[in-house]
């Protein structure tokens, strides 16, 4: 509504007011303030580094199947002229099969959610079913984004899949593919006589060799670090005890930590490239429902890899989609007299198909 108010010096000034109830009185006037919203932060670092490059397989059933082959080598041996020499080995392949879990989330919109309610940020506009549905769908989409990041975080943190409480088995990929638990490469930060930068370079060199054996293209390597590990490599790069002038990309004795947005990451993360190791160290402190990188650990991983992690999708098991090529997401809705329900599912397994392409780093 519009009210004309007489000003002392003469003339009239128009003021927009909304007539809403204040403390039970329907006759009080109150201006509507700008809408201020706070939302959960959605870390997307691993989704950017791994998810965008992760190979995807769309199956027609609920089993993730792939073949693996370990090639041996035999060198020529000395022989008599009439002999043939040693025989090369005939390598056998192995087929891995993993059950694909199903995940789902839903939301409902009831008439009581929007009936007799004002749309926030307006003075006299009614909330509508479409407004509430848009917000519910946005929350569902954000939940998927966060869940996929958590899946990747758990995978590199524990080598295991996460079924989120569902009726499916979990897999320890390092144990089942390589054998046994993954070892830790400790960097001896507590001993000044040991060259920690050289230890890190050797760890990266081992990873490079594994990538070459797997037929991967060698590119950038990142270390996703807990807080203490990142502080330790930062101090190593700062090199305060050096008796000579630093010849490095950074002078962390006089400049602040470099921070940047990486891919779709919605906030900046502290990171730098080690001047001697060539590894990009990234501090990643996200804790998603109790899943996080331990403070004293880091994971050294390749940025560009075709077969480090693969995601296999299964079709929805309904009349329309069973035995068809899987889609990445499915969505449905049901309406009734007082509202509607929307629900989505995604049937997928993010598998560490080559666990050798990651090095677990720790602190000594």
Q: Return all residues near 351 (Cβ < 8 A) that are at least 6 apart.
A: 64, 98, 161, 171, 173, 309, 310, 311, 312
**Cα–Cα distance measured from residue 91 to residue 89, given in angstroms and rounded to the nearest whole number:** 6
**Cβ-proximal residues to 131 (8 Å cutoff; 6+ apart), any chain:** 114, 119
Query: With a cut of 70, which residues of the chain have pLDDT below it?
Result: 1-33, 38-41, 51-54, 240-267
3-class SS at 207?
helix
Element (H, E) at 214: none
Output DSSP code: residue 160.
B
In the chain, domain spans: 1-31, 45-69+92-363
Packing angle of the helix pair 196-213, 227-238 (nearest 10 deg):
110
Parallel, antiparallel, or unpaired for β 280-283 and 221-225?
A: parallel
| Beta bridge pairs of residue 221 | 302
Give CA–CA dist 26/37, Å, rounded.
26
Q: What is the DSSP letter of 181?
A: P
Reduce the DSSP state of residue 363 to 3 states and report it: strand
In degrees and rounded to multiples of 5, residue 281 shows phi and psi of: -95, 130
H-helix or E-strand spanning residue 336: strand 330-336
In a 10 Å sphere around its CB, with 0-12 CB exposed, 13-18 middle and 19+ buried, how is residue 85 labelled?
A: exposed
Instruction: Say which CATH topology domain 45-69+92-363 has.
Output: phage-related protein like fold (3.90.1690)
Exposed, middle or buried: residue 88 (CB in 10 Å: 0-12, 13-18, 19+)?
exposed
Please, are residues 258 and 271 in contact by the beta-carbon 8 Å criterion? yes
Q: Which two tokens stand for residue 204?
A: 């990266």
Which residues touch 238 (CB under 8 Å, ≥6 apart)? 252, 253
CA dist., res. 155 & res. 64, Å (int)? 16
* Whether 189 contacts 236, CB under 8 Å: yes
**Which residue, 270, 238, 262, 261, is CA-closest to 251?**
238
Q: Residue 31 has what pLDDT? A: 56
CA distances to 99, 136, 292, 339, 351 from 289, in Å:
24, 21, 9, 31, 20
**pTM, full prediction:** 0.79
């Amino acid at each position: 509504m519009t009210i004309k108010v007489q000003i002392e010096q003469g003339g009239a000034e128009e003021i927009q007011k909304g007539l809403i109830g204040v403390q039970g009185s329907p006759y009080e006037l109150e201006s509507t303030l700008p809408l201020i919203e706070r939302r959960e932060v959605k870390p997307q670092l691993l989704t950017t580094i791994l998810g965008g490059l992760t190979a995807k397989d769309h199956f027609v059933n609920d089993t993730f199947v792939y073949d693996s082959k370990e090639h041996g080598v035999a060198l020529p041996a000395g022989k008599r002229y009439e002999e043939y020499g040693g025989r090369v080995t005939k390598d056998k392949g192995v087929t891995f099969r993993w059950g694909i879990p199903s995940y789902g989330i839903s939301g409902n919109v009831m008439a009581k959610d929007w009936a007799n309610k004002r749309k926030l940020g307006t003075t006299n506009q009614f909330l509508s079913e479409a407004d509430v549905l848009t917000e519910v769908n946005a929350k569902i989409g954000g939940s998927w984004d966060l869940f996929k990041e958590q899946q990747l975080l758990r995978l590199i943190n524990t080598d295991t899949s996460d079924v989120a409480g569902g009726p499916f088995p979990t897999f320890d990929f390092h144990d089942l593919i390589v054998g046994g638990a993954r070892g830790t490469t400790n960097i001896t930060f507590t001993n000044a006589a040991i060259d920690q930068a050289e230890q890190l370079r050797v760890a990266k060199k081992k990873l490079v060799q594994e990538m070459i054996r797997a037929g991967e293209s060698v590119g950038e390597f990142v270390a996703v670090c807990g807080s203490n590990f990142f502080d330790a490599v930062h101090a190593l790069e700062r090199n305060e005890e050096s008796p000579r002038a630093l010849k490095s990309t950074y002078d962390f004795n006089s400049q602040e930590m470099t921070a940047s947005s990486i891919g779709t990451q919605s906030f900046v993360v502290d990171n730098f490239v080690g001047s001697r190791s060539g590894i990009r160290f990234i501090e990643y402190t996200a804790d998603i429902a109790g899943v996080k990188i331990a403070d004293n650990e880091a994971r050294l991983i390749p940025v560009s890899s075709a077969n480090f992690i693969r995601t296999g999708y299964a079709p929805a098991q309904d009349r329309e989609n069973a035995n068809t090529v899987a889609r990445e997401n499915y969505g449905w809705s049901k309406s009734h007299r007082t509202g509607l329900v929307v629900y989505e599912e995604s049937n997928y397994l993010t598998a560490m198909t080559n666990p050798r392409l990651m090095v677990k780093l720790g602190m000594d």
